[in-house]
Amino acid sequence: MDKSVRTRDTRKRGSKYLKQNIPLYIMLTPAIICFLLFKYAPMGGIVLAFKDYNFWDGIWGSPWVGLKHFDYLFNNPLGWKIIRNTFMLSLLSFIGFPFPILVALLLNEVRKMWFKKIVQTLLYLPHFLSWVIVGGIFITLFSQDSGMVNDILEKLGGERYAFLYQPFSWIAVFLSAGIWKEAGFSAIIYLAALTTIDPSLYESTAMDGAGKWRQMWHVSLPGIRPTIILMLILGVGRVMEVGFDHIYVMQNRVVADISEVISTYTFKTGIQGGEFGVPAAMGLFESLVGFTLVLTANRIARKFNQSLW
């Protein structure tokens, strides 16, 4: 009898909770529909990785070829080069991971609100510019013929340098553009995490003689550690995902050996060339690697009691 009463009470509380939150569920519905349409529905295209697709027969009518496209991918030097470039550029992009944290820590210490708002606006603004604009800015700045950087270099007595046509310097420009565009906006989540830290902790450390840098190191950083680990896990899941628009705008034929990645190859071969099998296989491989890395990173974080699930 007691068990049935408890079950009935649980159902009543659940029903009451559901009715109270109906407006929230209604607000969430468009996001769920959008997610289903643009995230889950396209997963049906995975079947192209196992078919010899042609427009005449369609997706379901095209003949099955099994692992033919994967065999081509892993036995073709071009395929390994593209995978290597994707993995390399993605790992190098982690160089920019600490910058939003540093920006958030520094902004958190600013006490003049008017100055803080101006700096925040200037740092957030690049995020809202398209990669066409950002890429154009950096290409103009580092152009060998009329770039501002080369003009300054020449006035200082140096020689003009082909920043965009040398592998090492191209990678440096590529990474710098990504950091400049996203560091400020990515700091928002860390700034929000910093607001949850108890102010009395700062007061206690100040009374013990700790300066601003020690407060940041011993109070601010430990306080946002769960957020940092969460963002790191999510970032690891995108290790094989180099932004298409970012690299497509900035790449050129001279540095194609290091700038051709999965996303650009998929666009050129699939959309422009009309061959969908190999790009689909490459995209599936990219997703599986990302999924494996997320599970691995989460398992490692779990040992420090900071896992995502």
Give 153-196 pLDDT, tens digit per residue.
888 888 888 899 998 999 999 999 999 999 988 899 999 899 88
Q: Which of 109, 267, 263 is nearest to 190 (CA)?
A: 109
Looking at residue 63, what DSSP letter applies?
P
Q: What is the 3-state secondary structure (H, E, C) of 188-250?
A: HHHHHHHCCCCHHHHHHHHHCCCCHHHHHHHHHHHHCHHHHHHHHHHHHCCCCCCCHHHHHHH
Predicted local confidence at residue 45, as pLDDT: 82
Quick check: 47 and 65 in contact, CB under 8 A?
no
- The pLDDT confidence band at residue 209, using thresholds 50, 70 and 90, is confident
Q: Which of 30, 195, 31, 187 is nearest to 119 (CA)?
A: 187
Q: Is 87 exposed, middle or buried (0-12, 13-18, 19+ CB in 10 A)?
A: middle
How many percent of the chain have pLDDT more than 90? 15
B/e letters for 107-131, b = 16+ CB within 10 Å, e = fewer, are bbeeeeeeeeeebbeebeebeeeeb
Rounded to the nearest 5 percent, the helix, strand and coil shares of the chain are 80, 0, 20
pTM (two decimals): 0.80
Mean pLDDT within 266-273: 80
Quick check: 307 and 301 in contact, CB under 8 A?
yes
pLDDT at 1 over 70: no
- According to DSSP, the residues that pair with 51 across neighbouring strands are 64
Residue 4's identity, in one-letter code, is S
- Distance, in Å, from the CA atom of 83 to the CA atom of 296, rounded to the nearest integer, reads 20
Predicted local confidence at residue 175, as pLDDT: 92
Reading the block at residue 195, the tokens are: 């607001």
Average per-residue pLDDT in the chain? 84
Which pLDDT tens digit goes with each residue over 99-158?
999 999 988 888 888 888 898 889 999 999 999 999 999 999 998 888 899 999 888 888
Predicted local confidence at residue 170, as pLDDT: 93
